[in-house]
Amino acid sequence: MLPLLVLLLADGNWPMFRGSAANGLGDAPAPVSWNADPDAGPLRNILWKTPIPGLSHSSPVIWGDKLFVATAVSSAGPAPLKVGLYGAGNSADDNGEQSWKVFCLDKRSGKILWEATARKATPRVKRHTKATHANTTVATDGKRLIAFFGSEGLYSYSLDGKLLWSKDLGEIDMAPFNDQSLSWGFASSPVLIDDTVVLQCDGKKDPFVVAISARDGSELWRTSRSALVKNGWATPAVVRTPARTQVVLNSYPHIVSYDFKTGKELWRLKSEGDIPVPTPVFAHGLIFVTNAHGGAAPLYAIRPEAHGDISLAPGERTNAAIVWSVPRNGAYMQTPLVLGDLLYSCSDRGVLKVYDAKTGALQYEQRLGAGTTGFSSSPVAAADKLYFASEEGEVYVLKAGRLFEQLAMNRMGEITMASPALSGGVLFYRTRGHLVAVAEKP
């Protein structure tokens, strides 16, 4: 029998954040050049462009011919968004009534097939000026669609838009560990595997990880994390090996792994990146985790059979569980991408570092753009091409390899914060106001 990942890619499905296994890898070659900015000239290689109301960093997901995306629509009109390179931790002035919605589109035409309103209310918690009230990406397994809006609840829909069940997990207010007076909003997307929804809920009060039955919303297990972590905005990674299936959570001050079936802790690693955002990635038999901000920005390559406390001693780069590590990788917002034997890791300032995934040897370091714009969207790859989007909607296309080679820079024409999806050689970008399908056109 073919592995699940192979079957998903064969169908062109992109079922959750970063696609199958959160690896960001597409199923077919995609366009190298296009233009989606009408101010930069005629549109080129744009299959369709559909307006989506509201403000959201939710990435598109795909099952069959259907594309799904979430958003939050403010009753006060267009919501404020401040992008760019800045360090202020203020909350946005966007606390009026919101409608949390899910949209379903035809993947081929961009036509909206249905929309559903999960909740209409005043937000329970505030958000950061660069965040939204709908940061999370939905997830599907072809049987149902799962949407999680943090404090605003967890919702399960049929693929035709019928609400199957919902669950309130309480208030999940997020803040940096060193200033609990701030409120930055929720960002960890749901993971849906084996009829199980896994949620990382690292709020100010009693952070926890929970597994929920996708069939009926009942809790399968819940593990408190209050003794180990202070915050974490990352999406969980489910790592399967012949020996076990584990859930790896990127968080501060510990990265922690749990047994997928029971929620029992398997291993922990003390880390210094104090605002963890990137999702762990599994490739070449290693779990890659990076985080940044504060005093360090480490990157680790961890053996999946690790157990117990695997923290590095002062001055160490490796131990029995950690094959290699670097203390100053620098990736803050973006999830790394492994393509072939190389790991690509880009900072929020657009500094790309490329490592040999098996040894950690740095292959090259290169800045994308002029260093004046932020990079929050995680990269994807199709065949031997990689796609990195700046917050200003500039998409840099690179050729995979141990030497830097830029093939194109394409314009989306709008702020681009969400990570794209890939299906059948088509790139699907969520911009400030649209969903855009990028495809080679004759």
pLDDT reported for residue 22:
86
Residue keyed to tokens 């990942």:
5
**Region 338-343: what's the mean pLDDT?**
98
- Model confidence band, residue 442 (pLDDT cutoffs 50, 70, 90): confident
pLDDT in tens, 236-256: 999 999 999 999 999 999 999
**Helix (H/G/I), strand (E/B), else coil: 391:** coil
* For residue 3, cis peptide bond before it (omega within 30 degrees of 0): no
**Is pLDDT of 337 > 70?**
yes
In the chain, the percentage of residues whose pLDDT exceeds 90 is: 95
Q: Are 247 and 225 in contact (CB under 8 A)?
A: no
Q: Which are the contacts of 150, defined by CB distance < 8 A and separation ≥ 6?
A: 125, 136, 172, 174, 185, 186, 188, 201
Could you please report the per-residue DSSP string of 130-189?
T--S--PPPEE-SS-EEEE-GGG-EEEE-TTS-EEEEE---------TT-TT------PP
Q: Are 169 and 188 in contact (CB under 8 A)?
A: no
Q: What is the pLDDT of residue 10?
A: 41
Confidence of residue 294 (pLDDT cuts 50, 70, 90): confident
At 289 the pLDDT is 98
Band (3; pLDDT cuts 50, 70, 90): very low
Q: Is the pLDDT of residue 5 over 60?
A: no
The whole-number pLDDT of residue 266 equals: 98
The predicted model gives 215-230 an average pLDDT of 98
Average pLDDT in the 407-413 region?
98
Q: What is the pLDDT of residue 2?
A: 34
Q: E-assigned strands of 260-330?
A: 265-270, 281-283, 286-290, 299-302, 308-309, 322-326
All domains of the chain, ordered by start, with CATH? 4-438 (2.130.10.10)
Asked if the model's pLDDT at residue 7 lies above 90, the reply is no
3-state secondary structure (DSSP) of residue 80: coil
SS3 7: helix
Please give the angle made by the CA atoms of 277, 279 and 282, to the nearest 5 degrees: 155
Q: Are 354 and 344 in contact (CB under 8 A)?
A: yes
In angstroms, the CA 76 to CA 102 distance is 19
Residue 63, pLDDT > 60, answer yes
Q: Give me the pLDDT at residue 8, please.
A: 35
Residue 21 confidence class, pLDDT cut points 50, 70, 90: confident
pLDDT tens-place string over residues 146-203: 999 999 999 999 999 999 999 999 999 999 999 999 999 999 999 999 999 999 999 9
Cα distance between residue 61 and residue 427, in whole Å: 11
Residue 70: partners with Cβ closer than 8 Å, 6 or more residues away: 56, 58, 100, 101, 102, 103, 134, 136, 137, 138, 147, 149
Question: Cα–Cα distance between 165 and 214 in angstroms, integer?
Answer: 9
| Structure tokens, 83 | 């992008």
Confidence at 11, pLDDT banded by 50, 70, 90:
low
Q: Say what the pLDDT of residue 64 is.
A: 97
Q: Which residue has the higher pLDDT, 64 or 296?
A: 64
What average pLDDT does the chain have? 96
Cβ atoms of 255 and 236 within 8 Å: the answer is: no
Beta strand 342-346 with 351-356: parallel, antiparallel or unpaired? antiparallel
Residues 6+ apart with CB under 8 A from 119: 99, 100, 149, 152, 153
Work out the average pLDDT over 411-423. 98
Q: Report the alpha-carbon distance of residue 390 to residue 394 in Å, rounded.
A: 5
The answer to whether residue 9 scores a pLDDT higher than 80 is no
Does the pLDDT value for residue 6 go beyond 50?
no
